[in-house]
Structure 1
Amino acid sequence: MNILVVKANNRPASEAVSSKMYETFMENVEGVNVSTYDVFAEDMPYFGQDLFNAFGKVQSGAEMTDVEQRILAAKQKAMDALAAADVVVFAFPLWNLTIPAKLQTFFDYVFQSGFTFKYNENGQLEGLMKDKKAIILSARGGIYSTPEAAPMEMAATYVKNAVSFFGMEIVNEVIIEGHNAMPNQAETIIAEGLAKVAEVAKRFSAVKA
């Protein structure tokens, strides 16, 4: 089994709960091939006209600029990492109601017709990654699971929608929330959430306790 962990927080685990979730998963998964795609460590120019210019120059054979070469290489690297995985773990925070921009760039790179999805003969969208499974690990300091706040949560919601769009099956989801809103309960909230992360990692380990 090949597990890809997409890490989307560059804050230290001592300060960021989703970073600690990443570390906890890595510490508890055993006996399988695990690789990390750290969106903050990768060279990932933002998705935009540079990429479309690069596509045109590939077709024409024209010389590409440095950023055009970089974005093509970065896009291919993200696609190759996703293609090689059987299970994809996304470890990320909610920042300002959504995902970090670097994680958005990862999704921008892999959202490609013929790779993650296609249009079938009836013109309907169909995911092309039905053989892959996804695990969602996310942290948010506020409480967004209430009916009133849920419409504002666009981090876990976006990631789940995106991977479902690709056809991937979401097999586990661990959300740690409320540790900033309820500081007197933060230690317990975080500990219980990390215990769930450890359980998920062990479930996907080839080495059983």
Structure 2
Amino acid sequence: MNVLVVKANNRPATDAVSSKMYETFMENIEGVNITVYDVFAEDMPYLGQDLFNAFAKLQSGEEMTDIEQRILAAKQKAMDALTAADVVVFAFPLWNLTIPAKLQTFIDYVYQAGFTFKYDENGQAVQLMTDKKAVILSARGGIYSTPEAAPMEMAATYIKNVVGYVFGMEIVQEVIIEGHAAAPDQAETIIAEGLAKVRVVAKSLSAVPVN
């Protein structure tokens, strides 16, 4: 089984809980082929006109600029990594109510009609990644699981909507660690309990059946 781990926090694990979740997962996963796509280590120009210029030049045969070549290569690398994966693990924090910009760029690269979804003859979106599974590992210092705060949470919710609803991946596991900043006196326990769940996910992942 091929597992792609999308790492989306470059802060050290001593300072960032989602980084510790990533490390815990990597320390406990075995028996599968692991590929790590570190969005902070990759050369990932932001989605914008450079990409559309590159597409046009690719069609016309014109010479591309450095940024155009880089963004095409980066987009293809992200798509290739996703194509090769049976299971995709997303490890990321909630930053300012949403995901890190670098993770957004990864999503932008693979969120493409004809690749992760398509439109049928009636204009309805059709999922193209239904053969893949996804795992969500995310941390947030505040508490966003209450009915009042849940609408403000646009990190885990966004990733689940994109990969689950649009792409069609089956989300088989989700571990959220929250509230450690809001309740510092309970932080050690909150984090420890969450990391224990991450270990369970890592150890059980190789048993996840792949259709």
**TM-score between both structures, scaled by the size of structure 2:** 0.97
Aligned mates of 1:126, 1:170 — CA distance in 2? 17
Over 2 Å off, 4+ runs: none
Partner in structure 1 of residue 82 of structure 2 = 82
Deviations 1:162-191 (A, max 9, x none): 101101000000000000000000000000
Structure 1 spans left out of the alignment, 5+ residues: none
Paired amino acid for 2:144: Y
Residue 39 (structure 2) pairs with residue 39 (structure 1):
yes
Paired amino acid for 2:101: A
| SS of residue matched to 1:56 | helix
Shift of 1:205: 3.0
Deviations 1:87-133 (A, max 9, x none): 00000000000000000000000011110000012211011000000
Aligned mates of 1:115, 1:198 — CA distance in 2? 32
Residue 60 (structure 2) pairs with residue 60 (structure 1):
yes
Partner in structure 1 of residue 136 of structure 2 = 136
Alignment of 1:173-184 (within 5 A): 173-184=174-185
Aligned mates of 1:60, 1:122 — CA distance in 2? 31
Partner in structure 1 of residue 148 of structure 2 = 148
Identity %: 83
Structure 2 spans left out of the alignment, 5+ residues: none
Q: CA RMSD in A?
A: 0.6
Aligned mates of 1:45, 1:203 — CA distance in 2? 35
Partner in structure 2 of residue 20 of structure 1 = 20
Aligned mates of 1:122, 1:80 — CA distance in 2? 29
